[in-house]
């Protein structure tokens, strides 16, 4: 199994993690928030955490909570990502669900998407981003010159993505507010084809019309449908966070649903903390049949 990490961040840094928490720097703001995978002991002392953290997330229920500010910082700010020719910006916000609008570990996939599209011998490759959240993958694909369709079931998140597009000086991403599985099935019926498909599904979720989503129940079905949407030359990126899945399960799902899989990258995604701890953040499977 391979290990994958985002190594090109300048404006983001994981400082430490442990005791079900993580300490992160987003630009000039340091956040302390829950992390269910951090089952080990912290490397830094509690005194160091308290000294470094500008804001701490206080859990109030099973999902929601509130932020407690230790220092006067803004509720909204921007964060940039730049590596090589890829330069994009994100508008971050302290939400009541502990998220801020970005999953920093996904930067390794933004680079992959951008570089793969640049080497596709197609005038304007078509890329589909499913469960697209605030659009990091969509921004990377658009920055590389692709025709991008961005699908998410939550309208407010789509609006957030639009702001990120505008802040990144990009335009003309196609926005779709819909359940990803329903959208894929409709695209199959229409005979649509894409050169690249990206999907980063949650372990659990709710669709645009209240549909309940559980990854294990639907992942094989959506991959089977997606296999009918790919052009002859294509790439696919699949990232999952469910604790019930493993790299071997993803390998079997890929190999049984896609033919002639080449250049398969498979393994665990992590962030390397400044304190020396590796924080696991999902499982990645990606491949392309493009001669790179």
Q: What per-residue confidence (pLDDT) applies to 211?
A: 63
Calpha distance 282→205 (Å, rounded): 16
Residue with tokens 């912290």, as numbered in its chain:
42
3-class secondary structure, 84: coil
Q: How many residues belong to the chain?
A: 292
CATH class, domain 2-76, is: mainly beta
Per-residue model confidence (pLDDT) at position 141: 98
Q: Which residue, chain included where needed, has tokens 């129940």? A: 217
pLDDT at 259: 86
pLDDT of residue 205: 64
Tokens at 188, concatenated: 């199959």
Q: What is the pLDDT along the chain (292 residues), one digit of tens a residue?
A: 799 999 999 999 999 999 999 999 999 999 999 999 999 999 999 999 999 999 999 988 777 899 999 999 999 999 999 999 999 999 999 999 899 999 999 999 999 999 999 999 888 999 999 999 999 999 999 999 999 999 999 999 999 999 999 999 999 999 999 999 999 999 999 999 999 999 999 876 665 566 666 788 889 999 999 999 999 999 999 999 876 788 999 999 999 999 888 899 999 999 999 999 999 999 999 999 887 4
Cross-strand pairs, 236? 197, 287
- Give which of 112, 255, 133 is closest to 201, Cα–Cα: 133
| Nearest Cα to Cα of residue 52 among 71, 35, 34, 39 | 71
Burial 230-244 (b: 16+ CB within 10 A, else e): beeebbbbbbbbbee
pTM value is 0.94
With respect to CATH, is domain 102-288 assigned 3.40.50.150? Answer: yes
Domain ranges in the chain? Answer: 2-76, 102-288
Contact yes or no for 286/238 (Cβ under 8 A): yes
Predicted local confidence at residue 210, as pLDDT: 64
């Amino acid at each position: 199994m391979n290990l994958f990490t985002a190594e090109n961040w300048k404006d983001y840094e994981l400082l430490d993690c442990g005791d079900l928490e993580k300490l992160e720097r987003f630009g000039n703001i340091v956040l302390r928030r829950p992390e269910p995978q951090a089952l080990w002991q912290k490397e830094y002392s509690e005194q160091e955490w308290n000294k470094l953290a500008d804001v701490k997330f206080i859990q109030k229920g099973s999902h929601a909570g509130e932020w407690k500010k230790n220092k006067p910082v803004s509720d909204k700010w921007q964060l940039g990502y730049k590596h090589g020719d890829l330069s994009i910006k994100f508008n971050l916000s302290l939400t009541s669900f502990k998220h801020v609008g970005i999953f920093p570990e996904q930067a390794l996939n933004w680079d992959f998407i951008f570089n793969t599209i640049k080497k596709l011998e197609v005038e304007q490759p078509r890329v589909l981003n499913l469960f697209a959240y605030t659009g990091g993958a969509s921004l990377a694909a658009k920055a590389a010159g692709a025709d991008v369709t961005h699908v998410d079931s939550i309208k407010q998140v789509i609006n957030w993505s639009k702001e990120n597009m505008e802040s990144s000086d990009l335009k003309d991403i196609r926005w779709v507010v819909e359940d990803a599985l329903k959208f894929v099935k409709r695209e199959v019926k229409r005979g649509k084809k894409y050169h690249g498909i990206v999907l980063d599904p949650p372990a659990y979720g709710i669709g645009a019309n209240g549909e309940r989503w559980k990854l294990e129940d639907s992942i094989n079905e959506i991959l089977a449908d997606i296999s009918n949407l790919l052009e002859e030359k294509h790439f696919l990126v699949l990232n999952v966070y469910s604790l019930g899945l493993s790299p071997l399960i993803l390998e079997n799902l890929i190999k049984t649903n896609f033919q002639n899989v080449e250049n398969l990258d498979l393994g665990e995604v992590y962030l390397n903390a400044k304190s020396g701890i590796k924080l696991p953040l999902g499982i990645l499977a990606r491949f392309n049949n493009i001669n790179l």
